[in-house]
């Protein structure tokens, strides 16, 4: 309650429209003073500054649930990382008259395996002897649910840092992880050697973007055009660095991924 009241007061003082960004490791984070940082935060703030939209719009980092509920209730003008994170049917039904920008990036799920095990390339590679770990709130496509159902147990943790630790400590033998988020977990853990995954297998691929209510179409169109320019002139890749996956070879989106995905929060 204290956090909500503090945020509301700040928003009222600024009189700016809010772009609510859901906390994502290395992408959307805030420092001890509540100031945004991270690859996506830097990119969006740069776009706001260069287009002059910073006079009207403010980027605010919030827990994913808070950001999503506020956007659904039209408390916030826009939401990132985009509409693909609204996975529940009732959420989608409430999101009418919204528009989504050009993609900031691609986000995809990989299945990491303990170093002594074969890589997971299909459902057949998971059995009742396996255990899996996942960040709470991570997307669960149909294929991911089928993999989890075949395993003995699936654990839920709070971050990709904890997720990697589960595999390091042999508490599980497989992980569902999100790229690029997990790259920042490796970096913070100081792990030069990464766990292996099958490069041709991804049970979920989504696009990260900015979604706004229709009344903010003009601002969104401006941001979208700027994002396209950033991609063409190399700014997008430069700002995102290791997180940039848009032009990376990715496997085709699985036809079994039928449920709208929900991106994990930090």
What would the pLDDT profile of 148-163 be if each residue is shown by its tens digit? 999 999 999 988 899 9
Residue 90 CB neighbour total at 10 angstroms? 8
| Omega prior to 180 cis, within 30 of 0 | yes
Mean pLDDT of the chain: 87
Provide the token pair at 25: 């490791």
- Mean pLDDT lowest among 145-149, 167-171, 244-248: 244-248
What is the structure's pLDDT at 136? 80
* pLDDT confidence bin for 264, thresholds 50/70/90: low
pLDDT beyond 90 at 255: no
Give percent above pLDDT 90 in the chain: 67
What is the structure's pLDDT at 265? 47
pLDDT beyond 90 at 192: no
Determine the average pLDDT of the residues in 28-52.
94
State pTM to two decimals. Answer: 0.81
What is the structure's pLDDT at 263? 54
pLDDT beyond 80 at 197: yes
Which DSSP letter does residue 89 get? H
Look at residues 53, 61, 107 and name the one whose alpha carbon lies nearest to residue 85: 107
pLDDT beyond 60 at 50: yes
Query: What span, in angstroms and rounded, lies between the C-alpha atoms of 36 and 150?
Result: 40
| Omega prior to 161 cis, within 30 of 0 | no
Which DSSP letter does residue 20 get? E
What is the structure's pLDDT at 128? 96
Q: What is the distance of C-alpha 133 from the center of its chain?
A: 17
What is the structure's pLDDT at 158? 84
Query: What span, in angstroms and rounded, lies between the C-alpha atoms of 114 and 158?
Result: 20
What is the structure's pLDDT at 262? 47
Three-class DSSP category at 61: strand
């Amino acid at each position: 309650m204290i956090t909500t009241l503090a945020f509301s007061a700040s928003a009222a003082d600024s009189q700016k429209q809010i772009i609510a960004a859901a906390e994502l490791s290395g992408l959307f984070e805030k420092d001890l003073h509540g100031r945004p940082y991270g690859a996506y935060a830097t990119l969006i703030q740069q776009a706001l500054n260069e287009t002059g939209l910073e006079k009207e719009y403010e980027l605010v980092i919030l827990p994913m649930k808070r950001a999503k509920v506020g956007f659904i209730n039209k408390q916030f003008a826009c939401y990132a990382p985009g509409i693909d994170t609204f996975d529940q049917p009732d959420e989608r039904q409430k999101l009418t008259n919204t528009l989504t920008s050009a993609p900031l990036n691609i986000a995809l799920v990989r299945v990491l395996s303990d170093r002594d095990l074969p890589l997971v390339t299909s459902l057949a590679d998971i059995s009742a002897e396996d255990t899996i770990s996942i960040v709470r709130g991570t997307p669960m496509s149909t294929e991911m649910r089928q993999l989890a159902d075949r395993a003995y147990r699936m654990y839920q943790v709070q971050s990709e840092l904890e997720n990697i630790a589960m595999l390091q400590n042999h508490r599980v033998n497989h992980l569902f992880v999100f790229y690029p988020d997990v790259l920042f977990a490796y970096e913070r853990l100081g792990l030069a050697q990464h766990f292996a995954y099958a490069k041709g297998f991804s049970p979920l691929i989504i696009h990260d973007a900015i979604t706004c209510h229709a009344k903010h179409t003009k601002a969104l169109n401006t941001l979208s055009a700027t994002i396209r320019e950033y991609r063409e002139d190399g700014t997008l890749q430069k700002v995102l660095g290791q997180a940039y996956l848009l032009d990376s070879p990715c496997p085709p989106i699985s036809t079994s991924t039928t449920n709208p995905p929900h991106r994990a929060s930090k």
